[in-house]
C-alpha cells in the first residue's frame, strides 16, 4: 500500500513513468547475496555423476524471474548450486513444452535459441568476467570480457567446464509436448578470471544466471528471458545487477 502511495506521489511531482517504474523495480528486486553450501553427497563426497535431488543438505535452490521483472509465463526455471575447492557445480532445471535448438557446433550463437547462461565475475570488480552458455542440445559457448560490460570480447577464450544435459522430451520435434530439460555444470575455478588457486570458505563471487525459452502457441512464436537477478533492462550485461554468491560450509536450516 505504501509503495503504491509513493508511486502516486512521485507521478504527481512530475517524474516520468519510466523513472518511477525503474525505482519501483529496484525496490521489488533488490540485489541479493545467496549462501551457497559446500557440495556434499551422503555416499560420495567427490561424486562426479550427480543428481541434486539425491544430495543431503548440499545445495542452494533459487527460482528465476523474467528479466524485466515478474513470474515466468512460458515455463519456470530453477537452479541448484554448491561448491568444492576446485569447482562450482550448477544445475538448471527448465520447464519446456517445446525443447529446441538448431545449433550443433561449439561457439555457434546458441543464445539465439534456447539456452542457459552464467556470467561469473571472480573478484567482483565489474571489470573482467566470463560468460558460459549451454543449449538443450548440449552445445557450449564461452567468452571472456575485459574492461567492463561487453568490452573487449575474447572469442579465443575456451573454458573446460563440463556439462551434462538430460531431456525429458524430444529435441526439435514441434509435434509433441515436452516436459523439461536439465543442464548440470562443473565449472573449474582455474577457468574463472581473477581467482588464483581454489575457492575458500567465506569467499564471494558475483554472477548473472539466465535462461532463454522459445515456444510456439497457436502457430505464434514466443520468447521469454528469465534471470536469477533481473537486469531490469533489455540487456543481459548489466553488471551492477549481478547477484553475489557467498561460499559457506553448509546450508542454513529452516
In terms of C-beta density within 10 A (0-12 exposed, 13-18 middle, 19 or more buried), how is residue 212 classed? buried
CA distance 133 to 1: 40
CA distance 65 to 45: 32
Is the model's pTM score more than 0.85? yes
Each residue's pLDDT tens digit, 39-84: 876 554 455 555 666 555 578 999 999 999 999 999 999 999 999 9
pLDDT tier for residue 220 given thresholds of 50, 70 and 90 = confident
* 117 located within any domain: yes
Give 3-state DSSP helix, strand, coil % of the chain, rounded to 5.
15, 35, 50
Nearest Cα to Cα of residue 132 among 85, 74, 172, 92: 92
pLDDT higher than threshold 80 for residue 26 = no
* 254 located within any domain: no
Each residue's pLDDT tens digit, 117-136: 999 999 999 999 999 999 99
Q: How far is CA 153 from CA 125, 129, 144, 156, in A?
A: 17, 10, 6, 9
Residue 228 near residue 245, CB atoms below 8 Å: no
Same domain membership, residue 160 and residue 139: yes
Same domain membership, residue 57 and residue 124: yes
* 253 located within any domain: no
pLDDT higher than threshold 50 for residue 102 = yes
Predicted local confidence at residue 11, as pLDDT: 45
Mean pLDDT of the chain: 88
Q: Domain tally for the chain?
A: 2
Same domain membership, residue 144 and residue 48: yes
Range of the domain at 151: 33-248
Same domain membership, residue 84 and residue 3: no
Same domain membership, residue 57 and residue 22: no
Same domain membership, residue 14 and residue 52: no
Domain containing 45 — which CATH number? 2.60.40.1190
Each residue's pLDDT tens digit, 152-199: 999 899 999 999 999 999 999 988 999 999 999 999 999 999 998 999
Amino acid at each position: 500500500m505504501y509503495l503504491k502511495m509513493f508511486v502516486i506521489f512521485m507521478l504527481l511531482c512530475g517524474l516520468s513513468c519510466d523513472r518511477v517504474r525503474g525505482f519501483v523495480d529496484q525496490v521489488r528486486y533488490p540485489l541479493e547475496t545467496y549462501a551457497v553450501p559446500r557440495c556434499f553427497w551422503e555416499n560420495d563426497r567427490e561424486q562426479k555423476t550427480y543428481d541434486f535431488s539425491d544430495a543431503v543438505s548440499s545445495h542452494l535452490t533459487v527460482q528465476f524471474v523474467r528479466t524485466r521483472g515478474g513470474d515466468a509465463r512460458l515455463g519456470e526455471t530453477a537452479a541448484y548450486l554448491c561448491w568444492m575447492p576446485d569447482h562450482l557445480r550448477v544445475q538448471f532445471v527448465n520447464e519446456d513444452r517445446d525443447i529446441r535448438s538448431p545449433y550443433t557446433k561449439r561457439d555457434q550463437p546458441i543464445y539465439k535459441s534456447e539456452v542457459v547462461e552464467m556470467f561469473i565475475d571472480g573478484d567482483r570488480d565489474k571489470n573482467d568476467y566470463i560468460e558460459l552458455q549451454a543449449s538443450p542440445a548440449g552445445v557450449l559457448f564461452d567468452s571472456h570480457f575485459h574492461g567492463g560490460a561487453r568490452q573487449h570480447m575474447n572469442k579465443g577464450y575456451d573454458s573446460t567446464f563440463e556439462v551434462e544435459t538430460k531431456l525429458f522430451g524430444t529435441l526439435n520435434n514441434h509435434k509433441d509436448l515436452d516436459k523439461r530439460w536439465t543442464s548440470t555444470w562443473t565449472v573449474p575455478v582455474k577457468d574463472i578470471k581473477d581467482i588464483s588457486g581454489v575457492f575458500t570458505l567465506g569467499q564471494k563471487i558475483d554472477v548473472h544466471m539466465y535462461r532463454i525459452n522459445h515456444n510456439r502457441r497457436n502457430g505464434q512464436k514466443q520468447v521469454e528471458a528469465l534471470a536469477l537477478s533481473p537486469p531490469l533492462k533489455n540487456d543481459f550485461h548489466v553488471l551492477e545487477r549481478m547477484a553475489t554468491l557467498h561460499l559457506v560450509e553448509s546450508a542454513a536450516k529452516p
